[in-house]
Chain A
Amino acid sequence: MTKNETVLKLENVFKIYKMDGISVKALNGISLSVKKKEFISIVGPSGSGKSTLMHIIGCLDVPTSGKVILENQEISQLNERQLAKIRNKKIGFVFQQFNLLTRTSALENVALPLIYNNTDELKIREKAKEALKMVGLADRLNHHPNQLSGGQQQRVAIARALVTNPAIILADEPTGNLDSKSGVEILKIFDKLHKQGKTVVVVTHDQNIAARAQRIIHLKDGQII
């Protein structure tokens, strides 16, 4: 594998929503590529198509037209089931609201993606522990989300994104629900992941966060500017 290998490539991607008979172009011909081990951020005001772009990169949605190629696999024509498998293997999500399961321990939350790809039960525990250790929560394995601070909850979520060793870690406003101190801690984790060679894509409207990335992609009205 060369250092400059492309992980993700979007070619002239359009996403058009039909609402009450009116077509809305959420993405208007986006082309971009993300190389392995790259740390990029996607910024733009609300309504710029950020979320739509994130959904397409995260394989939660397919474009109306254009190509999306993730690790040499064309995904724009896949069905719901195939997309789910790709998300499981290749994408690690980090959400603004953490999205942890309540009444479920940190360990079990981190293990969640693994139960959907038939990992052996013992290995699940092992991998989940390892991921939590990486985010500095080795001593919080059995804590439930409501026993953890916001920053800790987001770290559990990051561990969950890491546990499958995905092609891309895709974070959507990862510090949006945190105070500035916890936010900085989370950003440090992303820096660390980047240094370890992970590919990170952060979607945000915060210029300060975006500035930490190697490359910033500005979106406006569904286009890259």
Chain B
Amino acid sequence: MLVNSRRLEIKQLTKVALKALQTNKSRSFLTALGVIIGVASVILLVSVGSGLKTYITGQMQDMGSNLIMIVPGDIDLDKMSAGSGQMQTADLAVMTSKLKLEHMEEIKKEIPEIQGAIAIVMVSSPVNYKRESKIIQVIGTTEDYIEIRKTEFYQGAFFSKAAVNSGRKVAVLGFKIAEDLFGEKNPLGKKIELGEARYTVIGVIEKKGGQGSMSPDDKIFIPLTTAQHQFDQDNVNLIMAEVHSSDEISSTISQIEQVLKKRLGEKEFSLLDQKEILSTVSNILNTLTAALGGIAAISLLVGGIGIMNIMLVSVTERTHEIGLRKALGATPEIILMQFLLEAVFLSVGGGIVGIMLGCGGTVLLNKFMPSVITPWSVLLAFFVSAAVGIIFGIMPARGAAKLSPIEALRYE
């Protein structure tokens, strides 16, 4: 019976609160807008953050789980994810790399577990064909690249070991580059200008999709030695070694370490594998996502203050009405509930619209950049908006509940 009557009371109070909100439609809407924007931006920014994470880790997985990367410099991924200045030292290390082609050949020869290995030089260079000119990332590498990177060919073939050894001026184009420079025409056998030298196109790599460092689509590949000669470089930026299975990774890493230590200082090279990179990258991106969400949460707080402000105004405006309701038998608790419900309806209503906008926005945004709706951010945004209503509604509502009926009735 008591429960039943409570329910009746809540129902009546809900009606009263909704009616009050309806009476000031535009004011209610503007107040809710603060929460709408807050909730939508939390969802949107978290979506972008986690979209980025999904995308980047996806790219990393493309790398293959059987690969070990040997990079110049002393890179500690744990420290990197903790956000120190390690990124810059890594950049510097690439420029002052002590890694050489010989190191690759040596580990290939000495360690039987290594199935294949490639060395890579990365430079950006202007590329010309007839009137077309672009700045393109040029990858100088060795003949096993297609093997290790599991690359399919659209036309032609990759350069051979002989081409690498003799530094032949031949080029293999990424699919998008071929499309951009040659359009419908067959690029095989054509000459392109790469910096000051002319290269013969001998192959086009099949379209792989995606972008960034792992996709071959927007890159040009030339033999490593040719690249070193043309760009006046005797080191390499990266060595990749492949093992038969991911179980062999850790043992192979320590073997490579031993071999390379004979030639290089301890701080002149680092070994990374996919698992390690993945966990680091996802750590960094989780931090980024949390930071984005946190920034957006500030706007939710501002929205809450907006609710408190308007509720204070509403209580003052309706002092006389509060006095009347009290005279007619509304207890302080009922008045408190009435105004609290009003605040909660504003914030939860705003929260629901914000969730719809945030989700809709994510779907739209996904056409331009990777973004994924995360259920936890939706739930969190909803409950935070409800909490905002209660927290920022309680102060004005208590003020209303405490009013003396006599004073309030006298108020004009």
Contact = CB atoms under 8 A, between A and B. Distances in A.
A and B pair up: yes
Contact of B330 (A93, A116, A160): A116
Interface in B326-360: 326-334
Contacts of A95: 409
A112 B334 CA distance: 13
Given A103-B23, A118-B8, A120-B8, A84 B329 contact: yes
B319 to A, nearest CB: 12
B5 interface: yes
Contacts of B12: 115
Contacts of B332: 80-81, 84
Contacts of B326: 84, 87
A58 B409 CA distance: 13
Contacts of A121: 8, 11
Interface of chain B: mostly helix, strand, loop or mixed: helix
Contact of A87 (B5, B11, B23, B327): B327
A108 to B, nearest CB: 9
B106 interface: no
Contacts of B324: 99, 101
B116 interface: no
B149 interface: no
Interface magnitude class on chain A: 20 to 34
B329 A101 contact: no
A217 interface: no
B330 A84 contact: yes
Contact of B405 (A60, A85, A101, A104): A60
Interface string B115-158: 00000000000000000000000000000000000000000000
Contacts of B8: 118, 120-121
Interface in B352-405: 405
Contacts of A113: 328-329
Nearest to A89: B329
A124 to B, nearest CB: 9
A58 B23 CA distance: 31
B9 A118 contact: yes
Contact of B331 (A58, A81, A120, A164): A81
Contacts of B405: 60
A88 B328 CA distance: 5
A125 B213 CA distance: 73
B234 interface: no
Nearest to A100: B324
B321 interface: yes
Contacts of B103: none
B311 to A, nearest CB: 19
A144 to B, nearest CB: 12
B207 interface: no
A121 B14 CA distance: 14
A111 B144 CA distance: 87
Contacts of A87: 326-329
A113 B332 CA distance: 15
Given A101-B321, A101-B324, A116 B406 contact: no
B325 interface: yes
B314 to A, nearest CB: 15
Contacts of B19: 104
Nearest to A120: B8
Nearest to A118: B5
B332 to A, nearest CB: 6
Contacts of B5: 118
B333 A58 contact: no
B328 A93 contact: yes
Nearest to B321: A101
A115 B326 CA distance: 12
A85 B406 CA distance: 16
A84 B320 CA distance: 16
Given A60-B405, A101-B324, A116 B329 contact: yes
B75 to A, nearest CB: 68
Nearest to B330: A116
A61 interface: yes
Given A58-B327, A84-B330, A121-B8, 8 more contacts: A60-B327, A84-B331, A87-B329, A103-B23, A113-B329, A115-B12, A115-B16, A117-B329
22 contacts: A55-B406, A60-B327, A80-B332, A81-B333, A84-B330, A85-B329, A85-B331, A87-B326, A87-B328, A87-B329, A93-B327, A95-B409, A99-B327, A99-B409, A101-B324, A103-B23, A104-B19, A115-B9, A115-B12, A117-B329, A160-B328, A164-B329
List the 10 closest A-B pairs by CB distance, nearest first.
A88-B329, A118-B5, A116-B329, A115-B12, A84-B331, A113-B328, A81-B331, A99-B324, A87-B329, A118-B8
Interface of B: 5, 8-9, 11-12, 16, 19, 23, 320-321, 324-334, 405-406, 409
